[in-house]
Amino acid sequence: MIFHVMIRLHERSCAQEYKTAILTHPMLSNGVQKAYIDLCIRLQLLPKRQNSVEWASEKQHTNLDIDDLPCSIDGFHLLSEIMKFQSIVVSIATACVLMSCGGNPDTKQGEFAAISKKETDADFKLVAPSSKSPAAFTFSIDNPGVATISGDVITIVGPGKATITASQPELGSFGPSHGTTTLTVEAVPCATGQTRINKQCVAIPTCVPPAILTNNQCVAPQSNAAPATVQGLTWMPVAHVDTWANARAYCQTTTISGASGWRQPSDTELAALYASGEMNGKGWTLGHTWSSTMASNLSEAGHVALNLSTGASSERPDVSGSYVACVR
């Protein structure tokens, strides 16, 4: 029996369970509880001036509450003392068996190796640390700016460091387990004048005012004006004047209201917008507005503009100024 208890207590660390079992289990008498308190005193885990009787008297009861006894003995030290106080060996062993003291060593994870990647690397699959528990692993990551995780597949987002946690839930006689590793992602510089978007080096865009370069994208400023929708097309609010070339470039390169893929409207589309009246009362500035339709009666390069306040169209030189409209 002593040898069996030695093995059980050497393999397990369940001091709280020892205390719970000894102080609450109905098979164990007050005498065993007293022996446990005496053992704590001998280990100097309770003040020497107090013996078990004094302690119980102060608490005004003989069956002590668990939290009333500040005694925590790990398996190794309890083992050494059990060899001296064999009278409580059987009771402690029985309590541990009946209460199923936790902390099965088989749930300890093996090495979870550190991971090094470059920001241009493709998605990769995590290799879980070794574990004797059959429970399935789940993974989490603490820095989505470096990488994201779906199941056990990692997607690199950008340079930096992140902590990956591998976890197993409790399963049968196996307790839960947790392990961590560090993911380090190295930056890969692009050439001068370029930036990396979606893992590809692209030219840093030149924004057409009033668009502003934000996170390597040309972004339209916030507007209190509301967009309009006509015949399945969404129109950005018309607010500023520019040349025809700049108007085309603005629509093609600018993210407006979080969306890209804008273009200049044709004169027919501008006429349909005017006829709908959807732009009225939305905070737009109405006047001559550029279309993508080329002029045919000018001696110089020009395009058709439509006045959104009157519906009249005219051909205007490209270098002149008209309002900018974008549609998608």
3-state helix/strand/coil string of 179-224: EEEEEEEECCCCCCCEEEECCEEEECCCCCCCCEEECCEEECCCCC
pTM over 0.75: no
CB 307 within 8 A of CB 217: no
Mean pLDDT by 10 residues, the chain (328 residues): 37 46 52 57 47 45 43 47 48 44 61 95 94 94 95 95 95 90 95 84 90 90 94 95 97 94 97 96 96 96 97 97 97
Residue 197 lies in a domain: no
Q: Read off the CATH number of the domain in which 213 is found.
A: 3.10.100
Residue 196 lies in a domain: no
Residue 328 lies in a domain: no
Residue 313 phi/psi, 5-degree rounding, is: -110, 155
Alpha-carbon separation of residue 304 from 208, 268, 280 (angstroms):
21, 10, 22
pLDDT score at 47: 47
Residues 90, 143: Cα–Cα separation, whole Å: 51
CB 183 within 8 A of CB 115: yes
Closest by CA to 263, choosing from 244, 283, 248, is 248
pLDDT score at 14: 44
Among 186, 216, 249, the domain boundary falls at 186
Task: Give the start-end residues of each E strand in the chain.
Answer: 115-118, 124-125, 138-141, 147-150, 153-156, 160-168, 177-186, 194-197, 200-203, 212-214, 217-219, 228-230, 233-235, 241-242, 254-255, 288-294, 302-307, 313-317, 322-323
Please tell me what DSSP assigns to residue 320.
S
Query: Residue 181 is which amino acid?
Result: T
pLDDT score at 199: 81
Residues 149, 220: Cα–Cα separation, whole Å: 32
Residue 194 lies in a domain: no
pLDDT score at 51: 45
Residues 142, 162: Cα–Cα separation, whole Å: 6
Residues 181 and 208 in one domain: no
Pairing assessment for the beta strands 115-118 and 177-186 based on DSSP bridges: parallel
Where is 11: in which H helix or E strand?
A: helix 2-11
Q: Which residues pair with 81 in a beta bridge?
A: none
Residues 220 and 319 in one domain: yes
Alpha-carbon separation of residue 224 from 113, 221, 236, 258 (angstroms):
52, 10, 11, 15
Closest by CA to 240, choosing from 325, 328, 309, 316, is 325
Please tell me what DSSP assigns to residue 263.
B
Residues 227 and 319 in one domain: yes
- Domain of 59 in residue numbering reads as 2-103
Residues 89 and 113 in one domain: no
Q: Which residues pair with 317 in a beta bridge?
A: 302
Residues 305 and 271 in one domain: yes
The domain tally of the chain equals: 3
Residues 79 and 133 in one domain: no
pLDDT score at 197: 76
Residues 218 and 281 in one domain: yes
> How many CB atoms are located within 10 Å of the residue 106 CB?
13
